[in-house]
Amino acid sequence: MIIIIEGAERDRHSTLIDEMFRMRATVFADRLEWDVTVTDGREIDRFDAEDPLYLLSLDERTGALQGAVRLLPTTSPNMLRDVFPVLVPGGAPASPLIWESSRFAVNPATFNACERTEANHVVNRTTIELLCGIVEVCQRAGVEHVVSVFDARMARIFRTIGCTFEVIGTPARIGRTMTYAGIFDMSEAMRERLGETGRLLTPVLATVEPRRIPHPRHA
């Protein structure tokens, strides 16, 4: 299941948020060897101070953190505009109808807790569940598209699972890999394709208080 945590409500979910930051350090610094700042075992960047939305995938039986992604409006500071402008020479999208996803990560602890075949299944399901969660949140918030920065490996994964995208700007080699900026349609057709691939035909968002899906600040 997917839960939503507003950046402004991090203190109410401090244990899960701390676990997410530690997971990000393991994924982005230790495994992928990205040039990120890790302090006290936690990967936190300046965009975490921009009051984003966090989507966390939790095991329905144990409550264990399986993965996470961050959503930010494109009308305020975001990674594509402020960190990767080389990918969009003509300028990054900026619209209340477009959000950015970043820090998409699946918990490496999955590999330690399962046999390889089962672990691959959980990783694939978690990836699709997070993507389904993004679509569901955006649909409820009236957001039509999401932009993201990703490498060639993730591009292949997106194509394999039916998560179609359009490359915007100009791909560039950043570090050791080709890096892309892509825009994703948050349509019902996208949700149906992902649901069929991951056998997630019912909503993945956990039941929340009957109020509107919160917007990231400045959206």
pLDDT in tens, 111-146: 665 555 555 666 688 999 999 999 999 999 999 999
For the domain that residue 62 is a member of, what is the CATH number? 3.40.630.30
Per-residue pLDDT reduced to its tens digit, 183-198: 999 999 999 999 999 9
- The pLDDT of residue 114 is 57
* Residue 219 forms part of a structural domain: no
pTM: 0.90
* Residue 17 forms part of a structural domain: yes
The answer to whether residues 134 and 186 touch, using CB atoms and an 8 Å cutoff, is: yes
- The pLDDT of residue 35 is 87
* Residue 208 forms part of a structural domain: no
* Residue 14 forms part of a structural domain: yes
Distance (Å, whole) CA 16 – CA 87: 33
Closest by Cα among 57, 90, 84, 52 to 70: 52
Distance (Å, whole) CA 149 – CA 86: 11
Per DSSP, the three-state class of 6 is strand
* Residue 205 forms part of a structural domain: no
- The pLDDT of residue 212 is 42
Per-residue pLDDT reduced to its tens digit, 144-174: 999 999 999 899 999 999 999 999 999 999 8
* Residue 216 forms part of a structural domain: no
The answer to whether residues 184 and 41 touch, using CB atoms and an 8 Å cutoff, is: no
Per-residue pLDDT reduced to its tens digit, 52-102: 999 999 998 889 999 999 999 999 999 999 999 999 999 999 999 999 999
Distance (Å, whole) CA 214 – CA 34: 30
Max mean pLDDT among 9-13, 59-63, 91-95, 208-212 falls in 91-95
- Overall number of domains in the chain: 1
Strand partners, 53: 6, 71
Q: What residues make up the domain containing 45?
A: 2-198
The answer to whether residues 8 and 51 touch, using CB atoms and an 8 Å cutoff, is: yes
* Residue 83 forms part of a structural domain: yes
Largest CA distance in the chain: 47
Structure tokens at 98: 């477009």
Neighbours of 108 (CB within 10 A): 14
The H or E element containing residue 54 is strand 53-58
* Residue 173 forms part of a structural domain: yes
